Amino acid sequence: MARKTANDDPLAPVTLAVGQEELLLDRAVRDVVAAARAADADTDVRDLTPDQLQPGTLAELTSPSLFAERKVVVVRNAQDLSADTVKDVKAYLGAPAEEITLVLLHAGGAKGKGLLDAARKAGAREVACPKMTKPADRLAFVRGEFRGLGRSATPEACQALVDAIGSDLRELASAAAQLVADVEGTIDEAVVGRYYTGRAEASSFTVADRAVEGRAAEALEALRWSLATGVAPVMITSALAQGVRAIGKLSSARGGRPADLARELGMPPWKIDRVRQQMRGWTPDGVAVALRAVAEADAGVKGGGDDPEYALEKAVVAIARAARSRGRA
């Protein structure tokens, strides 16, 4: 979720929203507008792109009004402002007008850095809106969504939702809100499965998870659904390979805290916890068998066989059996 500076007053004279995550940028604007309209229902909101903010425009928008009306002036993609307009904005930062809140949305890169630095130097309230590229970040986002909505969700439910929906924060936020609206009590993995099973089943990683857990029937069902919904076979073999290699890496690693193992193995901490649960029943011989099965499936999928679907089914069954090798010993 967006991170804010110590000055957390949305009615601060200047708010600087920095980053490229569109949902978080929109929420930063929404929070300011909501606070302004709570203070004055007739607040005038101007939402401008760089081409709409010409030299002199900011001065016109922020000039004193006979009616002393409250205004929110939003400037999107501030890094793209012309040099002359940047001068206007910098001058305004030195003497912001009363009853007016300026919101600057800036991508945060090298482009337009002078304006970014000037806003920070002027003491602007800052909201960080970074692009969430890591699975752990999206997982934390989902947890925050449920907390913000006043509901509890199990860690497994949060992970299942991320697995089902993917990386789009708007869809994740919408899904969390839908679950809160429709379901009473704690939201668990079973609830997420009922609502989003189609999307989750279509994930190549769901196929891999069920296979390395030794759940052959569920893995085959997920595989058939994935193929029916257009998931490329090569994506499934890749997910199977990652799943088996993760088991092998963690089983050969020394014990320790998830954070330490994450650094050692190059996995996020949440994945360490998940793989630890999945590796029960695995033996070194089982890992070797599963890796050979993945290699054969990969060859079959990439042209070494006549039936890629059969090659994948054969690999899934072999991996699921290998996952139970300790129990058969």
pLDDT tens figures, 173-197:
988 998 998 889 999 988 888 777 6
Q: Percent of the chain, pLDDT > 90?
A: 50
Greatest mean pLDDT among 31-40, 187-196, 220-229: 31-40
Burial label for 165, CB within 10 Å (0-12, 13-18, 19+), is buried
User: Does pLDDT of 201 surpass 50?
Assistant: no
CA distance 106 to 96: 19
Comparing 10-24, 30-44, 150-164, 255-269, the range with the smallest average pLDDT is 255-269
User: Does pLDDT of 200 surpass 50?
Assistant: no
- Residue 166: per-residue pLDDT: 73
**Average pLDDT of the segment spanning 36-41:** 92
**Average pLDDT of the segment spanning 65-84:** 87
- Residue 169: per-residue pLDDT: 87
CA distance 100 to 39: 12
Q: What are phi and psi of 240, to 5 degrees?
A: -60, -40
- Tokens at 277, concatenated: 């649960």
